[in-house]
Structure 1
Amino acid sequence: MSPLLAVEGLRASYGRVPILAGVDFTMAEGEFLGILGHNGMGKTTLMRTIMGSLPATAGSIHFAGTDVTKLATHQRSRLGLGLVPQGREIFPTLSVEENMRMGLAAAKREDRAVIDGVLQDFPRLVRLLDRRGGALSGGEQQLLALARCLCAKPKLILLDEPTEGIQPSIIEEMIETLQTLRRRWSLSMIIVEQNLDFITSLSDRVLSIQKGRITGEVDRERLLSGDVAMTAA
């Protein structure tokens, strides 16, 4: 069976500063893949390059059997790629409902039933539909960013640093929500994280990234014991 996502020799840079130095990995449909690494190792750049908001300078990205390396972000979205970015990037002056409607932008027509279906898995957001995004807590904004992404009906979600600045109770709720979404929506997901408990709770496999390269798979026993400092450094 062909992989859902195949990344080969991927390179990207900001101006003349190279960040990705030849990333190679594949993932299967239905898999939750973790990518672990410290700040500055290229995690967010990898997510942005896969999504198309940062162009690749070399290498290839194949998604669901299609070469998407040179496709625009909206074209990748229509194929089923979705990004929940680091920092959430919700629209602070729009209401929760209006933010979710923005998730339908790539669809041929707006369908309120899609929003209602997503809200079934985000009961915390139902009572906040009229509240402005900027008035939400960090955890509520993260749930909103995830719900907005789901409105586009993605096959693969790229989840970038979801626990950053989030209180522990919301992190536990997020783990439960993602596990539920996996069962109900048949999702695949790449989770970029530094929180060991979060990434271990959700991922089938965890890869380490170091200086713009995937350096290998992290042994699950080391993850559970927390002894991954050298692997993820």
Structure 2
Amino acid sequence: MSVNPVNSVDSATLAGTHGEAGAAPLFEVERLASGYGRIPILGELSFAVRGGEHVGILGHNGMGKTTLLRTLTGHLPTTSGRVRFAGQDITHWSPTARAKAGIGYVPQGREIFPALTVRENLRVGCLLARGGEEDTIAGILELFPRLKAYLDRAGGALSGGEQQLLALARCLCAGPRIVLLDEPTEGIQPSIIDEIIDTLKDVARRRDLTILLVEQNLNFIASLSNRILILQKGTVTREIPPDVVHDPALLDEFVGIA
């Protein structure tokens, strides 16, 4: 296999290499910096995602992956740089304003409401839905049929994989255009990971959904991503094709995280 990763992110990477040719990026990050108080985590980070793309982000722990998603969703302030979504500068928008604009977020650890039933969790997700609650939930259950049998069960009583499906379903109730996923396979039995992959592919196809995925499970990120960005020390350093992650020698040579 021939692989030619770049040492730094070039203009083609910044613009995105998939999606409709010539179309403006749906999501664009330019020289972004962020962190926690006086501790900088992200610095001079740039990339773009076109509508319909599935882009993975891979890197060692502590390289800023979760910080990036929290900054993109407005949960952490941007200290410099710019974030644009659907042609609008959203750099200083609140998390709620970004969610209303069409940015969905499933955080690490899922953060469902364990004391609420599955139905009640979905109703929370409907607070930003454009349609009626009943119709929205009915449509979501067609995408997540496993949840139909658990509607009156507390979210905390579900398995880890079922909770992840619920977190995804709740996020999609708002009808986002892009979903940011943070480590969706964390703490999940391998038997349900393939179901999550199939579900995400089906949902993305049906809803023309764009995905930005942070994940350490190499098979999962390769199965879902059109391309993978490498995050090192708070900045995007390279882009690789998803098939590289299936070759440990190449991954170690080019990325250094095998």
What TM-score does the superposition give when structure 1 sets the normalisation length? 0.96
Paired position in structure 2 for 1:195: 217
Q: Which of 121, 129, 134 is the aligned partner of 2:143? A: 121
Give the 3 Å change call, closer, same or farther, for CA 31–125 of structure 1 in structure 2: same
Paired position in structure 1 for 2:192: 170
- Per the alignment, in what secondary structure is the counterpart of residue 104 of structure 1? helix
Following TM superposition, by how much is the alpha carbon of 1:209 offset from its aligned partner in structure 2, in angstroms? Answer: 0.3
Paired position in structure 1 for 2:106: 84
Give the 3 Å change call, closer, same or farther, for CA 109–201 of structure 1 in structure 2: closer
The reply to whether residue 8 of structure 1 matches residue 30 of structure 2 is yes
Distance (Å, rounded) in 1 between the aligned partners of 2:96 and 2:171 = 13
Map 1:65-214 → 2, pairs under 5 A: 65-107=87-129, 110-214=132-236
Following TM superposition, by how much is the alpha carbon of 1:108 offset from its aligned partner in structure 2, in angstroms? Answer: 6.2
Unaligned regions of 5+ residues in structure 1, if any? Answer: none
Unaligned regions of 5+ residues in structure 2, if any? Answer: 1-22
Distance (Å, rounded) in 2 between the aligned partners of 1:129 and 1:107 = 19
Distance (Å, rounded) in 1 between the aligned partners of 2:68 and 2:187 = 21
Per-residue CA distance 1:170-202 (angstroms, 9 max, x = gap): 100000001111111110000101111000001
- Per the alignment, in what secondary structure is the counterpart of residue 150 of structure 2? coil
Give the 3 Å change call, closer, same or farther, for CA 232–199 of structure 1 in structure 2: farther
Report the AA paired with residue 62 of structure 2: G
Report the AA paired with residue 223 of structure 2: S
- Per the alignment, in what secondary structure is the counterpart of residue 49 of structure 1? helix
Report the AA paired with residue 197 of structure 1: N
The reply to whether residue 43 of structure 1 matches residue 65 of structure 2 is yes
- Per the alignment, in what secondary structure is the counterpart of residue 127 of structure 1? helix
Paired position in structure 1 for 2:7: none
Distance (Å, rounded) in 1 between the aligned partners of 2:41 and 2:90 = 20
Point out the more displaced range, 208-217 or 221-230: 221-230
Following TM superposition, by how much is the alpha carbon of 1:232 offset from its aligned partner in structure 2, in angstroms? Answer: 5.4
Native 8 Å contact 1:38 1:232 kept in 2: no
- Per the alignment, in what secondary structure is the counterpart of residue 127 of structure 2? coil
Report the AA paired with residue 222 of structure 1: V
Distance (Å, rounded) in 1 between the aligned partners of 2:103 and 2:238 = 24
What TM-score does the superposition give when structure 2 sets the normalisation length? 0.87
Native 8 Å contact 1:35 1:209 kept in 2: yes
Following TM superposition, by how much is the alpha carbon of 1:91 offset from its aligned partner in structure 2, in angstroms? Answer: 0.5
Paired position in structure 2 for 1:228: 251
Give the 3 Å change call, closer, same or farther, for CA 101–207 of structure 1 in structure 2: same
Distance (Å, rounded) in 1 between the aligned partners of 2:124 and 2:32 = 30
Aligned residues: 233
